[in-house]
Amino acid sequence: MRLIVGYQATPSGADGIALGATLARSLQASLDICLVLPQERPVPSKAPVEAAYDDILIDQATDWLDEALKLVPEDVEARTHLLFDESFAQGLLDCVDECDAYMIVVGAAGDGLLGRHSIGTVTSDLLHVAHVPLALAPRGYRHSPPQRIREITCAIGNRPGAAELVEAATDLSATAELPLRLLSLVSADERSAPGPGGLAKAEDVLRTVRAGLPDGSEVQLTVAEGSGIEKAASSLDWHGGDVLMVGSSRLAQPHRLFLGSVAAKMLRVVPVPMIVVPREAGDE
């Protein structure tokens, strides 16, 4: 298994490498660290100054990638790629296809709170067009990354359409031999809505999902309540090594990511890495 790390020579890039290393150990995977520069000119530039600047930029990028390799623990296999594309996100996606990679890993934007998620331009682009899971590291993850993933939490909505998410979470849990927690969040609005109570409905959905898992799966069911989604997510116990997995919105194109409103609210408050899984073509 190969994991693509979208790298820039910033603290955010170091956060992405730290999360990539933790995931690589847990999944017995290797890292492909990618730095994307603007597209090279198709013909030699007539301006010597511009050509010289390009050479300097390429040399600098090569040095940055050498430094990136030094951030990777010795027990994790890693290689680097210097790519050229006008879109950083598209450059990463092309590398995913070339390497047959399973996932992209990126760090948070530099203007967010320490220990929380902040979406920058590249991450925002990937959240709209990526066709593979996207792992997001919270800001500052590099300071104390766990050796391995401790537990996978899979956030399940109260409507159908989570088959791809559950399958991805179950596969990762089995591959890394990790416990799996199925989570449903219930807000005050859902509790007061007409029809079956939000809490009872959430519990029923989780039990239904668990019944469809392979025999012997180590699964914990958790329902968190709060005055809103953020409060419900904040009420949970999170530990070092935890990872949260969420599905894409039903607005997403088949086999593409699109961060839904509930997942976006969770992203603002959870202090652990989040993995967003693409929508399956058959999800309704």
Confidence of residue 98 (pLDDT cuts 50, 70, 90): very high
Q: Which domain CATH number covers 273?
A: 3.40.50.620
Q: Rounded to 10 degrees, what is the CA torsion of 193, 194, 196, 200?
A: 20
171 shares its domain with 250: yes
pLDDT tens for each residue of 121-176: 999 999 988 999 999 999 999 999 999 999 999 998 766 557 788 889 999 999 99
Query: Domain check: are 221 and 205 in the same one?
Result: yes
Does the residue 206 lie in any domain? yes
pLDDT of residue 263: 84
CB contact at 8 A, 211 and 203: no
Percent of the chain's residues with pLDDT above 90: 57
In a domain, 76, yes or no: yes
- Give yes or no: residues 116 and 235 share one domain: no
Is 215 in the same domain as 98?
no
CA distance 55 to 122: 24
Q: Is residue 283 part of a domain?
A: no
Q: Are residues 133 and 76 in the same domain?
A: yes
DSSP 228: S
What tokens appear for 35 in the block? Answer: 């730095």
Mean model confidence pLDDT for the chain:
86
Which of 115, 143, 171 lies at the terminal end of a domain, its last residue?
143
Q: Do both 6 and 137 map to the same domain?
A: yes
Confidence of residue 63 (pLDDT cuts 50, 70, 90): very high
Range of the domain at 264: 151-277
Residues 7, 119, single domain; the answer is yes
168 within some domain:
yes
Q: How far apart are CA 134 and CA 266, in angstroms?
A: 15
pLDDT tens track for 225-279: 888 889 999 999 999 999 999 988 654 455 566 577 888 888 899 999 999 998 7
Task: Please check whether residue 95 is in contact with residue 62, taking contact to mean a CB–CB distance below 8 angstroms.
Answer: no
| Same-domain pairing of 158 and 138 | no
Q: Is the pLDDT of residue 186 over 80?
A: yes
Closest to 257 (Cα-Cα) out of 155, 158, 134, 159: 134
247 located within any domain: yes
Please report whether residue 282 resides in a domain: no
114 and 28 in one domain?
A: yes
Domain-located, residue 237: yes
| C-alpha torsion sign, points 133, 17, 84, 108 | positive
Across the range 51-63, mean pLDDT stands at 84
**pLDDT level of residue 77 (50, 70, 90 thresholds):** very high
- Tell me, yes or no, whether 106 and 40 share the same domain: yes
| Reported confidence tier of residue 196, pLDDT bands at 50, 70, 90 | low
**Would you state the structure tokens that stand for residue 268, as one six-digit string?**
């603002």
Q: Are residues 139 and 26 in the same domain?
A: yes
| DSSP H stretches of helix in 71-131 | 88-99, 121-129
Identity at 133, one-letter amino acid code? P
With respect to residue 284, please indicate whether it lies within any of the assigned structural domains: no
Domains identified in the chain, total number = 2
Select from 109, 143, 177 the last residue of a domain: 143
Residue where a domain terminates, one of 143, 167, 197: 143
Indicate if 76 and 189 belong to the same structural domain. Answer: no
Residue 283: is its pLDDT beyond 60?
no
DSSP code at position 193:
S
